[in-house]
């Protein structure tokens, strides 16, 4: 075996361990009884330690050096895979094994306490656990930063989206904040001048919602011989490319949360299913980062499923599932209902115009937490002050404030910017898809997402991590990330 062959075999083994951890993580969120939490934390810690040990073994450095000394001249996939292997090794070698295992264990413990704390709106209950998680994340960031040549916070961002740092994100967010200050009151005024949308009358049986969600996901292209739909406290997509797990949550009084959540997670799942099988379990065969991933969920949910065309097909499907007065299911009414701007407290329920404000808030707070400028004990007050400054509303309790998201309580710092970068990329990709795919909206009006998904398969999914985020956008749209496309989309949908 060549040095590169040994590396691919090792990385495949590491990926298989990580797949097992992903399944245990899915089970913890969707199926595990509460009493299994402590043992699950130990299991995840051991798997994290095994994967880390394989990656930092001394022979890996030798094989990387040997493979880099004889680089490929005609195989871009090979070359990209080798670069990504080096990057993964650099990150892993910066972290001691005891820290990797401690983070897996403490993240799991904190996440379990967070579930109950959110249900009781009791930040004090989870505060010491979060303080431990934040302390470990700071240690992680401080260890990574010098090895990567980045700031500590950028080193965390690098773990989710390579090549995008705070200095790239901050001016984009500042410009959007200026746009929002003008656009939001205009959109609210335009909305107020129109008839209020009719809300479908419930209750909506959970079994009927679940059946509809499964049909809708399959209609969008998800193959359930390689996927599952389950329930969790926080909707997510997980699993592996050949065994995708998506979840949502159901409210008998409002089906929209479940339906739109499943559409969003289906976008993630379609990306995973479309990754290049020839490079499975290799770094180059993985998704191109979390901003890229969010672009794929949001192009399906926000750009396609909330379009006039798709709503024309979806309205009758909803009526058939739930019955009652047909008026609320008319496409024009669904458009007013699901494209309604509102200054709310909850990120996952936010409209696409105010959603970036929720991300901007988290981006600023997590930088302060990691930098030591904000104490964990002061998080609730800082959260409330920040949301009031951005949207003019103050959460009435911590469940609708700093307890609403799982990310920090599970150790996920540096992730949030990916949501809005992904939303901007989704608008850019959709504009390019409409230019490239004849009859795209006509197909959506028939409930047929295949032309859009087919274009995404070729332009995004099948390329794995061959290209970085910006180069992926350049190849698909002719330019790097351009926030102007997102603002143009919002202007067309909400202000004209």
- Residue among 111, 265, 352, 487 flagged as catalytic: 265
106 carries an active-site annotation: no
3-state secondary structure the chain: CCHHHHHHHHHHHHHHHHHHHHHHHHHHHHCCCHHHHHHHHHHHHHHHHHHHHHHHCHHHHHHHHHHHHCCCCCCHHHHHHHHHHHHHHHHHHCCCHHHHHHHHHHHHHHHHHHHHHHHHCCHHHHHHHHHHHHHHHHHHHHHHHHHHCCCHHHHHHHCCCCCCCHHHHHHHHHHHHHHHHHHHHHHHHHHHCCCCCCCCCCCCCHHHHHHHHHHHHHHCCCCCCCEEEEECCCCCEEEECCEEEEEECCECCECHHHHHHHHHHHHHHHHHHHCCHHHCCCHHHCCCCHHHHHHHHHHHHHHHHCCHHHHHHHHHHHHHHHCCCCHHHCHHHHHHHHCCCCCCCCHHHCCCCCHHHHHHHHHHHHHHHHHCCCCHHHHHHHHHHHHHHHHCCCCCCHHHCCCCCCCHHHCCCCCCHHHHHHHHHHHHHHHHHHHHCCCHHHHHCCCCCHHHHHHHHHHCHHHCCCCCHHHHHHHHHCCCCCHHHHHHHHHHHHCC
Catalytic site positions: 265
């Amino acid at each position: 075996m060549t040095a590169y062959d040994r590396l691919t075999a090792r990385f495949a083994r590491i990926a298989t361990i990580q797949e097992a951890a992903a399944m245990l993580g899915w089970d913890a969120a969707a199926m595990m009884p509460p009493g299994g939490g402590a043992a699950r934390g130990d299991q995840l810690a051991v798997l994290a330690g095994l994967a880390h040990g394989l990656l930092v073994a001394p022979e890996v450095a030798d094989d990387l050096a040997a493979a880099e000394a004889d680089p490929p001249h005609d195989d871009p996939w090979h070359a990209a895979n080798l670069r990504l292997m080096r990057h993964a090794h650099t990150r892993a070698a910066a972290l001691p094994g005891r820290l990797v295992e401690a983070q897996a264990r403490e993240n799991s413990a904190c996440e379990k306490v967070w579930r109950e704390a959110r249900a009781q709106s009791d930040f004090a209950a989870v505060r010491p656990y979060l303080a431990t998680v934040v302390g470990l994340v700071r240690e992680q960031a401080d260890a990574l930063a010098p090895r990567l040549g980045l700031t500590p916070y950028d080193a965390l961002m690098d773990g989710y989206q390579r090549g995008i740092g705070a200095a790239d994100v901050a001016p984009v967010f500042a410009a959007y904040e200026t746009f929002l200050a003008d656009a939001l009151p205009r959109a609210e005024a335009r909305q107020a001048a129109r008839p209020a949308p009719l809300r479908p009358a419930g209750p909506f049986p959970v079994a009927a919602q679940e059946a509809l969600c499964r049909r809708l996901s399959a209609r969008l292209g998800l193959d359930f011989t390689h996927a599952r739909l389950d329930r969790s406290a926080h909707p997510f997509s997980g699993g592996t490319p050949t065994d995708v797990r998506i979840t949502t949550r159901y409210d008998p009084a409002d089906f929209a949360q479940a339906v739109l959540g499943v559409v969003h997670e289906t976008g993630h799942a379609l990306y995973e299913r479309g990754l290049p099988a020839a490079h499975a379990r290799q770094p180059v065969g993985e998704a191109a980062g979390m901003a890229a991933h969010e672009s794929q969920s949001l192009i399906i949910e926000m750009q396609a499923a909330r379009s006039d065309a798709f709503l024309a097909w979806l309205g009758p499907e909803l009526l058939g599932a739930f019955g009652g007065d047909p008026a609320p299911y008319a496409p024009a009414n669904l458009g007013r209902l699901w494209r309604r701007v509102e200054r709310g407290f909850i990120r996952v329920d936010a409209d696409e115009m105010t959603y970036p404000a929720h991300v901007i808030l988290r981006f600023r707070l997590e930088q302060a937490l990691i930098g030591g400028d904000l104490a964990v004990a002061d998080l609730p007050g800082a959260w409330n002050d920040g949301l009031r400054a951005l949207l003019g509303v103050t959460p009435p309790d911590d469940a609708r404030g700093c307890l609403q998201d799982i990310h920090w309580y599970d150790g996920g710092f540096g992730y949030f910017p990916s949501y809005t970068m992904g939303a901007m990329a989704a608008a850019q990709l959709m504009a390019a898809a409409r230019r490239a795919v004849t009859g795209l909206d006509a197909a959506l009006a028939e409930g047929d997402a295949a032309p859009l998904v087919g274009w995404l398969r070729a332009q995004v999914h099948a390329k794995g991590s061959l290209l970085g985020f910006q180069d992926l956008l350049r190849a698909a749209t002719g330019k790097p990330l351009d926030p102007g496309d997102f603002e143009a989309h919002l202007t067309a949908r909400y202000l004209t």
